[in-house]
Structure 1
Amino acid sequence: MATTAAKKQEAKLAKNLAHKTHFTKQEIETLMINFKKMTMSKLERTMFREILHNTFEMTDDILMDRIFRTFDADNDGIIDFGEWVTGLSIILRGTQDEKIDFCFKVYDLTGDRIITREEMFHMLKNTMVRQLAEEDPDEGIKDLVDLTLKKMDYDRDGRLSADDFKRSVQEEPLLLEAFGPCLPDDKVREAFLATFTQTKMDTSDSLGLSTL
């Protein structure tokens, strides 16, 4: 049972996060209930990957690892509740600019604010190799990298900067996930958001409150 002081601290955290994210205070309180069911205080990498796979239907190992690192804002190897809510806010309800920045960070494998030809090849090979029927799928992936650079590399320096990526997505939104799926699709997103309503109903029922 949480103490009065702990409850006040949680309420303050929910209020602060409501100002910084696209969730209401009530929704954040619901997320807090669900977060406690998954883990007492923080998400380890393995559990986080299980959530991405089971809840958000993501399967790419490289991208799941990069999503973990992008959620983990303080780079301490674990995701606390604030990081969890902030990350979910972006992937579920983020603005276009927020999603562009998020996806770029996921694709920037070395964290140097540049996506190189090698990084593109590495990500596309991981996601595309099963779909290519050629004897040497690497050649098909190299061609895809060349086509992608031709379309997205505005300053023609052979790599993608954050500005190149942003300009490309603003002109063609489908390029947002050019190097692999790192955002939940609409069906998965709506299913997750629906859990807010269900948790509210369950909580009300347990308190003997009407949900009408």
Structure 2
Amino acid sequence: MLALRSVRSAFLQCHKNKECPEGVVHEDSFKEIYSKFFPHGNANLYAHYVFKAFDVNCNGAISFRDLLITLSTLLRGSVYERLRWTFKLYDINGDGCISRGELSEIVIAIHELMGRRAHQVEDDRKAREQIDRVFRKLDLNQDGVITIEEFMESCLKDEVITSSLQMFDCVL
């Protein structure tokens, strides 16, 4: 939900202010606009990951078509399509699985986005515990990586996750 509203608003603001005359949003502009929605934190890293997930053609730009495809998936897609998109967001290197390092990068990016200061001993400890807890839950066969199948199975069994995915149904 965080990514969805911010991207939609960033794209609309970019077009309204004529910052994107060629009809696409590039990553630098995206990060700049995205940071306005999270003024108390550092949005750059998380904005980078969200940008990559919205860049359907992997060409370094989000077109209006890319935006529509992703919004369609997130707002009207099945739970499976929404989970696939979320997996893509977390699979930073695109190798088809989520490593502990990738999960750590996303969690750290979210903490920075929300204003957590880096290298605070207590915050770092809590982040590591959160990462360990989530990784144990999702890595069903405990082989050190989370596959799309493990991700889907774990998320579909979790009532909090499935109910949060259903919240997209009433966004529009």
Decide which of 35, 46, 51 is 2:28's aligned counterpart.
46
1:43·1:78 contact (CA, 8 Å) conserved in 2? yes
After superposition, where does 1:40-189 map in structure 2 within 5 Å? 40-49=22-31, 52=34, 60-128=43-111, 130=116, 135-175=121-161
TM-score (norm 1): 0.56
Q: Are the structure 2 counterparts of residues 34 and 151 from structure 1 closer, same or farther at C-alpha, using a change threshold of 3 Å?
A: closer
Structure 1 alignment gaps of length 5 or more: 1-32, 177-182, 194-212
TM-score (norm 2): 0.67
SS at match of 2:80: helix
After superposition, where does 1:15-30 map in structure 2 within 5 Å? none
Aligned length: 150
Q: Are the structure 2 counterparts of residues 46 and 152 from structure 1 closer, same or farther at C-alpha, using a change threshold of 3 Å?
A: same
2:46·2:109 contact (CA, 8 Å) conserved in 1? no
Structure exhibiting the larger radius of gyration computed from Cα positions: 1
Deviations 1:117-166 (A, max 9, x none): 1122222233347299x734333322222211221111110221111111
SS at match of 2:142: coil
Deviations 1:42-67 (A, max 9, x none): 22223434565668999743332122
Partners of 1:34 and 1:140 lie apart in 2 by 35
Q: Aligned partner of 1:158: which letter?
A: G
Q: What is the RMSD of the two structures over their aligned residues, measured on CA atoms?
A: 3.6
